[in-house]
Structure 1
Amino acid sequence: MPPSAPAPPRRLPRISAGRLWAGGIGTAIVVALVIVVGVMLVRGVLQIPVLAAEGAGTYGTATTTTYAFAGAVIAIVATALLHLLLLFMPRPMQFFYWIAALVTAVAVLLPFTFSAQWEAQIATAAINLVAGVCLMSILGSIGSSSVLPDEGGYPTGRM
């Protein structure tokens, strides 16, 4: 019986890192703005005092800036995770969507673990949900479009 030919070495998929990371930075900006707009809507229009006392105005305090900055940092971390998944995981987008959905679920539940008014907890959970869905949808489409076709012009088929 002749020896079988060795399996060809596994090639890493070709990823447009520039496109992925530019999209990740754009996503971070959008997520931060979603949080700011959400806080301003909740505080200014709905008159629910999230993240600061009622007299702090529509924007609130520096806590709103910290909240928005944290959302942007989470989007950058999610971009790094997506980059790793695209390089090394089978069906990377499926893993990304599951991880992002579960982290979003934690972010939605988190406000209910703190002592605050019920309305403020619900409003914060809603802002977290919208920010999470925003991150998931934008980074998901960017991740898929960042995988380049192989030399034969065909997508890698790993999505």
Structure 2
Amino acid sequence: MSAPQGGWDRNYEDPTRRYPAASDPEAAPRPSVDAGKLWAGGFGTAVVAALVALVGILLVRGVLGVHILSPSDAGAYGDVTTTTYAFGAFAAAILATGVLHLLLLLMPRPMSFFNWIMLLVIAVGVLIPFTAVAEVESQIATAALNLVIGICIMSLLNSVGAIATRAARGAVGR
């Protein structure tokens, strides 16, 4: 069978091209995940997220004078709730790293799914402060801090995911 003259025929099969069977493991090579890089980057992201929470609380309470997460007489740092909030940001980043690892191993277009999941989790984090009984400025400050922490986690883990993912052998040039 020869290629048709003057155009492309979708029924034409090139006899020199190898068409792998669906069950052929080389048909769709999956990228490999460097778990060490992924989790090291995830830990670094968690530390940054906790520090963003701490700096945000110090800024909002100490500089702007908005009392979030603890009573006004607790000072610029707040109380144990501030520490819990920072550890919560740390834990959220570790959890996001675990989700990213699973997506990288199991899903097609894992970063698209990860970004959608993160955007929806960030939306929940921004909306939750408005469901609590508090002053409006405290609700806005907490929502803004949750937004910054979420964007920090999402953007850093996007970079980490790209670095920790390597193309599978034989996939170059396909």
Alignment of 1:10-159 (within 5 A): 12-152=30-170, 154=172
Per-residue displacement from partner, 1:100-140 (whole Å, max 9, x unpaired)?
01000000000000000000000000000000000000001
**1:111–1:125 CA contact under 8 A, matched in 2:** yes
Give 1:55 deviation, angstroms.
1.2
CA distance in 2, matches of 1:61, 1:35: 14
Q: Which SS does the other structure have where 1:90 is aligned?
A: coil
TM-score of the aligned structures, taking structure 2 as reference length: 0.83
If each structure's helix is expressed as a fraction of its own residues, which one has the higher value?
1
Partners of 1:49 and 1:120 within 8 A in 2: yes
On the 8 A contact 2:29/2:169 being kept in 1, the answer is: no
Structure 2 unaligned regions, length at least 5: 1-19
Count of aligned pairs between the two proteins: 153
Letter in 2 for 1:146: A
**Contact kept in structure 1, 2:29 and 2:171, CA below 8 Å:** no
- 1:39–1:64 CA contact under 8 A, matched in 2: yes
Deviation at 1:53, TM superposition (A): 1.0
Partner of 1:8: 24
Output the TM-score relative to the length of structure 1.
0.90
How far residue 51 of structure 1 moved from its aligned partner, in angstroms, is 0.8
Contact between 1:12 and 1:88, CA under 8 Å: does it hold in 2? no
Mapped to 1, the partners of 2:168 and 2:150 lie a distance apart of 32
Higher gyration radius (CA): 2
> Once structures 1 and 2 are overlaid, which stretch shifts more, 63-72 or 142-151?
142-151
Question: What is the distance in 2 between the residues matched to 1:140 and 1:117?
Answer: 35
